[in-house]
């Protein structure tokens, strides 16, 4: 007879865009192993909940964050990834607007904070590997789905959208071609509201028309900014 003593966990890579930088939400562990180390929020799945419920519960308990966008990422189950037990982690990546959430540590989290993805501390367990996988997924998906709008305010300057893409993709873009292509999709609304941008003339704000995007998608439209 084959016996198993495998536990199932969920971990979440929560991205937020603040101060024109890509950030990730981390907790400082309050228990062993890796006590006082920074880690991704997550924990074991309870008997009476599905995976999505588990990750949403853990995020609420450890960080006080609720999710705007959540997607299953990958499964991690290498031997020894957790010194306590054999644990298989079903991981997710999520997108939130940091300014909409008041983060607060609770349960087995001693602290919670946003970190610039370029300045991460050493992470517990195999969480650096998980983070790298999530960042790669985000960069790839940004080029074929308009998920970047889940990181911006509802109303934004076009320059904010340009900066977001350059920040996440970690490269410069041809601003003229980018603007022409994005506006050509017909999924942005240019508003009458204007905001001063530096010393230049006030610029119009834009808004993502999600309803129009899904209508076009049903008709065969493909978002592609490569």
Neighbouring C-beta atoms of residue 206, cutoff 10 Å: 22
Q: Tell me the per-residue pLDDT of 34-52, one tens digit each, with 9 for 90 and over.
A: 999 999 999 999 999 999 9
* Dist CA 1 CA 115 (whole Å): 47
Q: What DSSP line would sit under 174-218, residue for residue?
A: -HHHHHHHHHHTT-EEEEEEEE--TTS--EEEEEE-HHHHHHHHH
> Per-residue pLDDT tens for 153-198?
999 999 999 999 999 999 999 999 999 999 999 999 999 999 877 6
Whether pTM > 0.85 for this model: the answer is yes
Q: What is the pLDDT of residue 68?
A: 80
Query: Could you give the CA distance from residue 220 to residue 226 in angstroms, rounded to a whole number?
Result: 18
User: Do 66 and 101 touch, CB atoms closer than 8 A?
Assistant: yes
CATH 3.40.50.2300 is held by the domain 147-218: no
Q: Is the CATH number 3.90.79.10 carried by domain 6-142? A: yes
Q: Which two tokens stand for residue 218?
A: 């049903």
Give yes or no on whether 6-142 and 147-218 have one common fold: no
Query: Domain extents for the chain?
Result: 6-142, 147-218
pLDDT digits (tens, 9 = 90+) for 109-164: 999 999 999 999 999 999 999 999 999 999 999 999 999 999 999 999 999 999 99
pLDDT of residue 190: 95
Distance of alpha carbon 64 from its chain centroid, rounded? 15
């Amino acid at each position: 007879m084959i016996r198993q003593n495998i536990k199932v966990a969920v971990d979440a890579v929560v991205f937020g865009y603040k101060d024109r930088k890509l950030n990730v939400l981390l907790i400082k562990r309050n228990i062993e192993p890796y006590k006082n180390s920074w880690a991704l929020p997550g924990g074991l799945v309870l008997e009476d909940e599905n995976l999505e419920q588990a990750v949403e519960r853990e995020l609420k308990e450890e960080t006080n964050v609720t999710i705007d966008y959540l997607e299953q990422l990958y499964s991690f189950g290498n031997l020894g990834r957790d010194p306590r037990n054999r644990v298989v982690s079903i991981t997710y990546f999520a997108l939130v607007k940091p300014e909409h959430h008041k983060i607060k540590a609770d349960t087995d989290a001693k602290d919670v904070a946003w970190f610039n993805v370029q300045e991460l501390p050493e992470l517990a367990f195999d969480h650096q590997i998980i983070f790298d996988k999530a960042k790669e997924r985000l960069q790839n998906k940004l080029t074929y789905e308009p998920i970047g709008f889940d990181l911006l305010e509802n109303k934004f300057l076009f320059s904010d959208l340009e900066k977001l893409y350059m920040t996440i993709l970690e490269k410069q873009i041809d601003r003229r071609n980018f603007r022409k292509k994005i506006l050509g999709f017909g999924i942005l609304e240019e508003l009458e509201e204007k905001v001063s941008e530096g010393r230049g003339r006030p610029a119009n704000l834009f808004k993502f028309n999600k309803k129009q995007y899904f209508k076009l998608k049903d008709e065969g439209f493909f978002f592609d900014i490569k």
